[in-house]
Structures are given as C-alpha cells and as structure tokens.
Amino acid sequence: MKDILNFINGEFVATSKQFEKRTPVDDSLIGMVHEAGQDEVNAAVAAARAALEGPWGKMTVQERTEILNKVADEITRRFDEFLEAECADTGKPKSLASHIDIPRGAANFKIFADVIKNAPTEFFEMATPDGKGAINYAVRRPVGVVGVVCPWNLPLLLMTWKVGPALACGNTVVVKPSEETPQTATLLGEVMNACGVPKGVYNVVHGFGPQSAGEFLTTHQGVNAITFTGETRTGAAIMKAAAEGARPVSLEMGGKNPAIVFADCDIDVAIEATLRSCFANCGQVCLGTERVYVERSIFDAFVARLKEGAEKLKLGVPSDSNTNMGPLVSQEHRNKVLSYYKKAVEEGATVVTGGGIPEMSAELAQGAWVQPTIWTGLDDNATVVREEIFGPCTTVMPFDSEEEVVRRANNTHYGLAASVYTQNINRAHRVAAQLEVGLVWVNSWFLRDLRTPFGGSKQSGIGREGGVHSLEFYTELKNVCIKL
C-alpha cells in the first residue's frame, strides 16, 4: 500500500491526517493520501512565492522552456508509471489513457513552451504635439502564484493543461488535485525534481474542497490567480473566494452538450463519433454528449445503430486490451448516476439499452460499474435532458427542422460544446454560428488543436485557454510608453 504525499518546495511531505484512496475497479485500497492542512497550504504558497522571486522568475524564456521540454520528455520516459497510476485511480482502460491522458500530459508542456516563445506583443508609434512622437510596446509578465484546482475525470491531462502554460509564462503553481485522483500530480513532482525545475515552482497539496486544501488554497491571499476545472457549483464558490483580493479566475465547468444529427449526414461518421462522445471514459468527459437530436427520417435507424454500438462495448479491467469501458470514478458517483437512471424511468423514458448495473465477475463486483444507457421517449423538460449526469448515458430525441433543433439545443443554462453531423457545408456553418457554446465540432468530437480557444459560455465557463488565450490568463500584459 502506498503513501500518497504532498509535494512542497521540492520535497514530499507527509501529514498526520490521511484518507483512503480506493480503485473503482474493485474497491481495493491503493493507498493513503496525506491531507494538507492550512499549514501545508501556507508552506506551499510561500515556497511558490519564493521561487517566483528567485530562480524561476529570473530565468530567460529560453531557459524555462528548455526545462519544460525536458519535463515532457521525462513524462514520456516514465509513461508506464503514469499510465499505471492514472488507470488505478480512475479505473479507465489503458487503451484510452495511453492514447489520450498520458500523451496529452506531456504535450501540454511542449506546446505551451512553443506558444510563449513565439507569441508577439503589440507595438504602436504615436504622434505628439511637439513633433517628436512616442512609442508604445507591450510586455508580458507572469501573474504570480497560480492556484490550480483540478477534477478527477482526466487528472493528468487537465492538470497539465493549466500547469504547462502557467509555468511557461514564468508563474509558479500550487496544485490541488481531486481527492479521487491524487497519484499522477504527486508523480509529476518526481519528474520536476529530475528535470531541474527549481524547488517551489511546482507544489501539490492534497485534500478536499470546503474546509480543506481546496478552500485553504483558493482563499489564500498569497495566491494571485486561480484556474479551476470542475462543477459549475464549485466554480461559483471559487469565484466568490477569488473576489476577496480581486483575483482573476479561469473557470472550466459543467456541460449538457447536444449532438445534432441531420438526415444528410454520413451515418457511419455520426455513429462512430456519437458512441465516443456518449461513452468514452465511461461518459465522464465534460465535452461528452448527453442529448442527441436526430432528424426524424433517420431516427429509428440511428437509435438501432447506437444501441448496437453501445451493446458491443466491453467493460473490464484497465489492463485488458479489449476493454473499452471502465467503471465510474467512485461508488459515490455511481449512486448519483444510478439515481438519474431511476429518475429517467420514473419520468417515462423508454430504456433502449442499459439502465442499471452490469453483471461483473466476482472479483470486480465491488467496483463502480454501470451499464452504458440510451433513453428515448423523453421531452426537453425531463430531468435527464436538463441536468448534467456525467455518466455513460444519453437521451435520443427526434426533430423536424433546423430552426427547431437549434432552439432546443440552446435551451440550457450550460454552453460548453456541441457536435453537428451533416454533409451540407452551408448548414454546418449556419448551425455552428447559432449554437450558444464555446466549442462546436462538425462531423467529429474531441478533435483538439491546442492552439485554439477552449472554454465554455453561459454557466459552463468563464474565460478561454489554449494557444495565446492561455497567455492572456497566465500573464499580465503591461504597456510601456516612451516619449521620444
């Protein structure tokens, strides 16, 4: 059994208060997580401040980005250890994590090292009454100590998506991983030390949200900016905490993402992408689809093919290369998802497939397994059509016109992502333009170019990250005006 420690000022730190980390595959104990209290959070923030004012803050962009490229290479060299830790914490299949989570964990350091090296700033010449003129130029400076609060669904990917650009821009960080997925953030501490990242630049404090490390970090006045990924309700609490001291926030939050399937789509493409968007990572992807609108003339055929695909998914242990669906992250989350499965039926859903707990072998029976589930027969007011479930389930509903489906897709407080399936290029542009979301995929899903803006509208987020947009959050842009 492991001790999963905090990482503060380049050292692994144990505490007297610990909590269990169990794997959702079979509920066996992986290790004890050492919870950071106020003292450890204070120490982490102080270490981050000292590193900012010391070696990290004094490095050139070239020196810093060379180190970050080494970090990426070291993650890749220790790929199997990261894979093992991530799959044990989350239960996700290795086939998935080895293509998405771990490679992106490394890429997030390389890409943002390149972005910061290549991002220009503005320059303006101006005329003045004395005829001599003035020049203006902008320079980027780090915002300071950044608090990074992370969720459990793509732990390494989503943490490095923030830490990569924050460090590239010259900031220092204190990371609060999800209590459900503590391991890879700690492992990254070893990588930081091995690559010569100065102590205090990257710190990890473990614990929960309220009255624990999450709250201690976000209310700490030594933290200059907070970047958060997680539920909308938590984001609102963090925004309140950040108001004290008027500190900036970047919030990536929940979604209730629609897929819109027009009759003129390539149905093979639509089915393949919708199966992924509904069921990949056991439905625990913020960008995942939980509402599928299908044009009435192809509705029955689409539902039949989606059902066939869902029923072919192979639930199993992460190490089995045939597994393409793992358990949910925890028993607690399974209870939440199952309560929605029950609610759907109470509100009149037809269960096309799934709807309960699958039969697993005796050794996996204590795991957090649920069946991939498809409902029809619900209208837009049903609870499972309105609320984010974050499980492997979706409602499929027919529509009759483009105007109708756009209105229904937009009828939500969320605004993260949408997918549109059509071969009519005019329709693709027209519909994409009208959807009230931060991200639209046409004939695809979760196809990511890290140079592009990423984030949600409405209650799905505040701000954009990705490419130069990350620089907007992780740097202060300062204008220097020189009178000639």
- Contacting positions for ligand 6OD (CB under 6 A): 153-154, 158, 161, 285-287, 448, 454
Q: How many CB atoms lie within 10 A of CB 97?
A: 28
Dihedral Cα 136, 140, 141, 143, nearest 10 deg: 120
Catalytic residue among 278, 282, 286, 393: 286
Q: Binding pattern to ligand NAD, positions 397-426, x when CB under 6 A?
A: -------------------x----------
Choose the contact partner of 461 out of ligand 6OD, ligand NAD, none; CB within 5 to 8 A by kind: ligand NAD
- Options 96-104, 111-119, 228-236, 290-298: segment touching ligand NAD (CB under 6 A): 228-236
Q: Which helix (H) or strand (E) is 234 found in, with range?
A: helix 232-243
Selected from 142, 189, 198, 230, the binder of ligand NAD by CB under 6 A is 230
User: How many residues form the binding site for ligand NAD (CB under 6 A)?
Assistant: 32
Question: Under DSSP, is residue 141 helix (H, G, I), strand (E, B) or coil?
Answer: strand
Interface with ligand NAD includes 255 (CB under 6 A)? yes
In the region spanning residues 113 to 152, those forming contacts with ligand NAD, defined by CB under 6 A, are 149-152
Q: Which is nearer to ligand 6OD, 104 or 140 (CB)?
A: 104
Q: Which is nearer to ligand NAD, 231 or 347 (CB)?
A: 231
Which of 126, 118, 121 is CA-nearest to residue 139?
A: 121
Catalytic residue among 180, 252, 290, 465: 252
Interface with ligand NAD includes 390 (CB under 6 A)? yes
Choose the contact partner of 472 out of ligand NAD, ligand 6OD, none; CB within 5 to 8 A by kind: none
User: Token match 């693709």: residue?
Assistant: 428
Q: Smallest gap, in angstroms, from Cβ of residue 454 to ligand 6OD?
A: 5
**Active site annotation includes 286:** yes
Choose the contact partner of 254 out of ligand 6OD, ligand NAD, none; CB within 5 to 8 A by kind: ligand NAD
| Sheet of 134-142, strands arranged across | 123-126, 134-142, 475-483
Token reading at 263: 């009759």
Choose the contact partner of 161 out of ligand 6OD, ligand NAD, none; CB within 5 to 8 A by kind: ligand 6OD
φ, ψ of residue 225 to 5 degrees: the values are: -155, 150
**Active site annotation includes 190:** no
Half-sphere exposure of 23 (CA within 13 A, CB side): 23
Q: Binding pattern to ligand NAD, positions 24-53, x when CB under 6 A?
A: ------------------------------
Q: Which is nearer to ligand 6OD, 56 or 152 (CB)?
A: 152
Q: What is the CA radius of gyration of the chain?
A: 23
- Options 197-205, 233-241, 296-304, 366-374: segment touching ligand NAD (CB under 6 A): 233-241
Dihedral Cα 124, 127, 130, 133, nearest 10 deg: 20
What is the Cα–Cα distance from 412 to 254, expressed in whole angstroms? 12
Is residue 83 exposed (0-12), middle (13-18) or buried (19+ Cβ within 10 Å)?
A: buried
User: Token match 């393949």: residue?
Assistant: 272
Token reading at 441: 């995929």
Interface with ligand NAD includes 253 (CB under 6 A)? yes
Chain residue at closest Cβ approach to ligand NAD: 209
Token reading at 415: 């605004």
Q: Which is nearer to ligand NAD, 209 or 258 (CB)?
A: 209
Query: Contact at 8 Å (CB) between 95 and 324?
Result: yes
Choose the contact partner of 237 out of ligand 6OD, ligand NAD, none; CB within 5 to 8 A by kind: ligand NAD
Interface with ligand NAD includes 225 (CB under 6 A)? no
Interface with ligand NAD includes 467 (CB under 6 A)? no
Is residue 421 exposed (0-12), middle (13-18) or buried (19+ Cβ within 10 Å)?
A: buried
What is the Cα–Cα distance from 270 to 261, expressed in whole angstroms? 7
Q: Which helix (H) or strand (E) is 108 found in, with range?
A: helix 101-118
Active-site residue list:
252, 286
**Residue ranges that bind ligand NAD, judged by CB under 6 A:** 149-153, 158, 176, 178-179, 208-210, 214-215, 218, 229-231, 234, 237-238, 252-255, 286, 388, 390, 416, 456, 460-461
